[in-house]
Amino acid sequence: MPELPEVEVTRLRLEPYLVGRAFTQVVLRTAKLRLPVPAELPFLLTGKTVHAIVRRGKYLLFDCGEGWLLVHLGMTGFLQLLTGPSLPGKHDHVEFTFDDGRILRFHDPRKFGIVTWFSGDPLRHPLLAEIGPEPLGDTFVGDYLFNVSRRRKVPIKQLIMDSGVVAGVGNIYANEALYRARIRPDRPSGTLILQECSELVTAIREVLEGSIGEGSSFRVAEETAAYHPQSFKVYGRGGEPCFTCGAPLDEIRLGGRSTVFCTICQR
């Protein structure tokens, strides 16, 4: 599933080619993904120019002047940028053609993604309005996490994966950040002291920035996208030796998600 670094890498990949370009054609090959795709999207976009591409959490927002194209990659989606026409694949659901001949295709086998339009302030869209601060932004600091975690019994891993608390920290990077901060993922959030919250905020920043810096995701072929080519310290390594102490990593389920940690190094 694409997480925040993959979405940011996608934004960085598309920005140089699409900003300043105008839509010349929009083709809809499905009426509904996770939400209905607006039938009027070809009319709304054709002739408009992309002024900027920004990210909010795991959403990509294309500033089209009179409104915003909102895209969420869902669980299996990716955006493929082509230099010219080619036959669409089975799961190529939406296609945008630009004035330089490039084509942007939204490919999503499981159809859990979102492609929609909003003419107002995109941050007030119902999908975005309740999202918490950006983990790489200035307002996500130790004091904030400490205050929001007070009297909370929910495991800290589930708290930092709550998009209402902080935007876009998914399962992979929550595992990695908690290992880096030496905090057990199943600890009740309210037991963390301020120093631990500050260290966890730093760890979240480091693992996200490191993944973005590695170009986290994109090796895109016609039918697949490899989102996580890099190696991880704990994610996907249950039962294997801890890189720090050598003890076998424990694997449990928290909130229905695989959770891997070291019972020796993480407290």
Same domain, 89 and 160: no
Same domain, 40 and 107: yes
Which pLDDT score is estimated for 212?
87
Q: Average pLDDT by consecutive 10-residue portion of the chain (267 residues)?
A: 86 95 97 97 97 96 97 92 89 96 95 96 94 96 98 97 95 96 98 98 95 63 51 92 97 95 98
∠ CA 215-242-175, rounded to 5°? 50
Which pLDDT score is estimated for 226?
54
DSSP 203-225: HHHHHHHHHHHTT-S-EE-SS-E
Phi then psi for residue 243, to 5 deg, are: -70, -15
For residue 129, tell me if it sits in a domain.
Answer: no
CATH code: domain of residue 187: 1.10.8.50
Same domain, 120 and 146: no
Residue 64: which of 26, 94, 36, 13 has the closest Cα?
Answer: 26
Label residues 60-97 b or e (16+ Cβ within 10 Å = b). Answer: bbbbbeebbbbbbbbebbbbbbeeeeeeeeebbbbbbb
Domain count, the chain: 2
Per the structure, the complete domain to which residue 116 belongs is given by: 4-124
pTM confidence score: 0.90
Which pLDDT score is estimated for 218?
47
Which pLDDT score is estimated for 35?
97
Same domain, 148 and 101: no
How many angstroms separate the Cα of 202 from the Cα of each of 12, 45, 54? 23, 40, 23
For residue 111, tell me if it sits in a domain.
Answer: yes
Which pLDDT score is estimated for 231?
75
How many Cβ atoms from other residues are within 10 Å of residue 4's Cβ? 25
Place of tokens 């986290």: 216
Place of tokens 């920035």: 209
CATH code: domain of residue 111: 3.20.190.10
Active site residues: 2-3, 58, 257
For residue 266, tell me if it sits in a domain.
Answer: no
For residue 267, tell me if it sits in a domain.
Answer: no
Same domain, 118 and 29: yes
For residue 137, tell me if it sits in a domain.
Answer: no
Same domain, 79 and 178: no
Same domain, 73 and 169: no
Adjacent-strand bridge partners of 226 = 219
Same domain, 119 and 172: no
Same domain, 93 and 176: no
Place of tokens 């072929």: 221
Same domain, 151 and 256: yes
Same domain, 172 and 75: no
Place of tokens 């693992």: 207
Same domain, 116 and 166: no
For residue 64, tell me if it sits in a domain.
Answer: yes
